[in-house]
Structure 1
């Protein structure tokens, strides 16, 4: 072993020997260059862990080869690491731990296991799995969890948000939960890089059907059950497999029609109806008892129209809305209502209407009837009052009464003839 000022020139001129040797730097104790018999040269540091002391274990750590790390950069890195070691750090052990740390892809396999969070619903888990497979893993899967930075998360958010801003916002929420879990449960020392990310502005997607639109939907539903919905065919285009005119009609089965009616009469969520089992139906007391809704166990009130639908439905399996496997040993619930719903929306000229908008419509009718937001929230099974608050603008009767009282007093002061509120509304309807 020798000592000298390890400059670029000195490092280049060190010749290999019969055995490996280390040339230590004369100015920075603990910084050296290792040279092997075959001429390979690498920068190293040597220190005592735990802040030093004779009883502290001696560590040796390779910084990098001379071929890719200049003398100047190696000296700067060595200076920082040796200073940290004197303050109690252990750079070699930290590097070893970092190399053994899991990647986002590896840790996500544990995070997405059903037993990781016993209160997480299967539908939520399926959505998380989709987000990881399609968006998160391609961008961050190979990175060690603690190496993911705020900039990495922001880039993912912005890239996805170009076409899907809502999905991009949901990804941030999922990632924030993932990193929080990694920090708390997996004891990974890091800050959550998904916290504090500016989200895209989301426009409200609630849509409420008017009375006229509800009438069109009802007409289309009855037509679909009886004569069937006509196919809209472009007769200017020739099709080898086009149906004959008399066969260009599609009927909706009674279970799909029942599901759609139940959705709007009860305000239930789609999965709550499609996964509903007959054992959870109490026709005598007029209740549905849901074991596992989005907000946990909850009852759903059955009004007269909903009760009639359930009374008329045949029981051919354990699920109320029978699917293709109804009655089979491994019976599965119906997956969706996409085809019948798409046909109904097209026939009723309700472009863009989502099935979930039936739930919004149910709530909006209640709000417009001045039933009170707390009651509506309980009917819909909302866990938090804030969720129901989005219907507050529809509950306008108190505001209307206040507005009319103010206007009557102003009109009286102006000498205007008084006009009953009913007359004012009738004028608006005539217009």
Structure 2
């Protein structure tokens, strides 16, 4: 019988004290083989794993953690896991050293950014921004072996308690889901030999945004753009965004070489298309007029050039957009909603979902074959009808109804 073998309980362990000698005292758990409690002459109590390594013919001792910081049940579980590894022939001491020296998530992410994201993703800068905002501070310093589904689940939930960077309220579940998806991708591509701790974490339910500018809002939008306080470049950028229904990054990166003034077409290269395919966008008359006016005043390769940015073209005008919304008395409107506005007005004029999908560059397995056969003429006609309807809102005037009391 092992000396000092007892059934570990909080009551018993709290009562255990050192005998005053200069030696360490050891007590062994009757409930879990290989688990012991060490008490130093100073009175510190720590759990240890002690077992015989048959494969190497030696005794193995490994610290588990101090009591009561480490609960008894947790210490038992860790000891059971270690014992299983030892019985399999694993050198748990060397394995622990490898874990101690392993890369952190921050190192793994940096490597992923260079190997996978930058060479293959056009939106890698968005991944970097998302990592910096929601992942780096709470998780960046953690080694890969630290992660578990429960820890990821808590982090995912905690994101929704963070305050928004702009405005009021907290971060949405949709944003938390995007961060979770990014983290899962990093684990899948950079640590494929390990179980992905993100796989069993349930995402928050998301609600699709269906915001677009109503006729009265379009009137205020156009009026706001026409005011002298609105910079001409911002005005043209936003008008082309709504006239083409293109993604904001594509409009910002638009080059003159991709504009066909004869055919009234804009060719978005595959390298800039979200679907990695060339996209042809019909250009309606108001869009062509804006482009001709800008072309006569510039020698840049970009339609919206900027000497202030490293890219050479304008970046997302967040402050200018916010100021415009204030002048136009509009709220809860994003630049991306201009793209949705084009699709919505196409639908109002009777365009089919296939035509709208072709306009906006949507791609789905069921629609791919149809898109391949679709002529651009109905797409152009639909866009022209939608723009005509939107332009008609410029003439709207809000009516004031006076109600007289009888």
Alignment correspondent of 2:63: 63
User: In the alignment, what sits opposite 2:364?
Assistant: 384
**Following the alignment from structure 1 to structure 2, what is the Cα–Cα distance between the partners of residues 153 and 24?**
35
Task: Provide Cα deviations, 1:340-383, integer angstroms capped at 9, x if missing partner.
Answer: 54444333333333222211111111111222111111111112
Counterparts of 1:219 and 1:79 in 2: how far apart (Å)?
71
- After superposition, the Cα gap between the structure-2 partners of 1:91 and 1:170, relative to the gap in structure 1 and judged at 3 Å, is same
SS at structure 1 position matched to 2:298: coil
Deviates more, 1:367-376 or 1:4-13: 4-13
The equivalent residue for 1:426 is: none
Report the counterpart of residue 263 of structure 1 in structure 2: 241
Instruction: Kindly report the root-mean-square deviation, in angstroms, between the aligned alpha carbons of the 2 structures.
Output: 4.3
The equivalent residue for 2:150 is: 151
Query: What number of residue pairs does the alignment pair up?
Result: 346
Q: Who is 1:133 aligned against? A: 132
Hey, what does 1:278 align to over in structure 2? 256
1:95 is paired with a residue of what secondary structure? helix
Q: 1:300 aligns with which of 281, 293, 297?
A: 281
Counterparts of 1:294 and 1:217, CA distance in 2: 28
Choose from 328, 334, 348 the match for 1:348: 328
Counterpart residue number, 2:194: 189
Match of 1:415 in 2: none
Flag structure 1 segments of 5+ consecutive residues without an equivalent: 229-249, 388-431
Question: 5+ residue gaps in structure 2?
Answer: 7-12, 165-169, 368-406
Name 1:160's counterpart in structure 2.
159
- Aligned partner of 2:293 in structure 1 is 312
Task: Give the structure 1 partner of residue 106 of structure 2.
Answer: 105
Q: 1:425: which partner in 2?
A: none
- More relative contact order in 1 or in 2 (CA 8 Å, sep 6+)? 2
**Structure 1 residues 341 and 16, CA, compared in 2 at 3 Å: closer, same or farther?**
closer
Partner of 1:252: 231
Which structure 2 residues correspond to residues 189-268 of structure 1 after superposition, within 5 A?
Answer: 189-193=194-198, 195-202=200-207, 204-210=209-215, 212-222=216-226, 224=227, 228=228, 250-253=229-232, 255-268=233-246
TM-score by length of 1: 0.64
Cα distance between partner residues in 1 of 2:151 and 2:76: 30
Task: Give the distance between the partners of 1:29 and 1:220, measured in 2 at CA.
Answer: 76
- Mapped to 1, the partners of 2:146 and 2:306 lie a distance apart of 47
Larger Rg: 1
TM-score by length of 2: 0.68
